Amino acid sequence: MSKKVALVLGSGGARGYAHIGVIEELEARGYEIGCIAGCSMGAVIGGIYAAGKLREYREWTESLDYLDVLRLLDVSFRLGAIRGEKVFGKIHEIVGEIDIEQLAIPYTAVATDLTNQQEIWFQEGCLHKAMRASAAIPSLFTPVMQGSRMLVDGGLLNPLPIVPVVSSHCDLVVAVNLNSLNQKHYQLPVIERPAAIKGKIDQLMGSLSTKLSFLRRETDEEEEGELLVESEAPNPWLDNSRVAKAEVDTEASPKSASNSHVIGNVGPASLLELVNQSFETMQTSLAQYKIAGYPPDILINVPKRVCRFFEFHKAPELIQLGRQIAADTLDKYEEEHA
């Protein structure tokens, strides 16, 4: 008989794509997902799954390359780098207009009410608004106003919302933590794609840099031992050579794992990246408290170092990695409980 699972999907920016691979592995093994609680990208993936549109969403995200991601950046001049209307407009197009009460399974999205400084659970009402509020990552997406309340990413208070599912009538609680500092043996898979047209990327990045004046407007490269300074602003959504070098150094020295997003050992490349790196540090600590307070039956840990918060063009790699980690974790659990 298949086991019914209460699924908890944590926050972690672009790493949230790994949730898709986890869900696919659970279903492939015959587990029945009986309810979902999610935060930020976990709320988005969980909501789309509960609405029965995960396949369509996966196909869309896997089709995105560097340029497609840049085109989705509707730059804002208020309380966030991106308004999010293009991204969530596409999600709304995929999912349609649906209330949480109409979903096939119970669903909870967790957001943070900055006005009253409290955690908010969305368990009824418009699914689209719930996902948008839960995923309003500070500094990246603009907040959601609901009356007098300003709502932002639930990860500020609860990046791994286990509590909403502990009273569910399910056999197992499965939690997916996207902020693990362990699992050093996992690497992001390499999936070949057509190269983006560099000239167009540079043109779009020049426009983005002009609008986001807080981005530091210089980047350095080492070429034949000399330091060259260019006028291009570093882009938090795209790879750059300094990040790659930092990640190589991280693998060589495990002690530097917590600095895998630090550029050239001098710090984040922009204020945006600084804020989000601080946000992730806080989430990592909070997630450990949630796990200790309400230990799930199965904990699937996705290492934080495999992907930066902003790298939303890496869906295929992250989905595959999520499925691999889920498979290994479930193998171990099933062997121990055979």
Catalytic center residues: 40, 153
Burial class (CB in 10 A: 0-12, 13-18, 19+), 189: middle
**114 backbone dihedrals φ, ψ, rounded to 5°:** -70, -35
DSSP type of residue 297: S
- How far is the CA of 178 from the CAs of 159, 280, 304, 307, 322, in angstroms? 9, 10, 6, 10, 10
**7 backbone dihedrals φ, ψ, rounded to 5°:** -100, 130
Of the candidates 103, 108, 102, 64, the one whose C-alpha atom is nearest the C-alpha of residue 86 is: 64
Distance CA 174, CA 6 (A): 6
**Are 110 and 38 within 8 A, CB to CB?**
yes
Residue with tokens 């790659």: 244
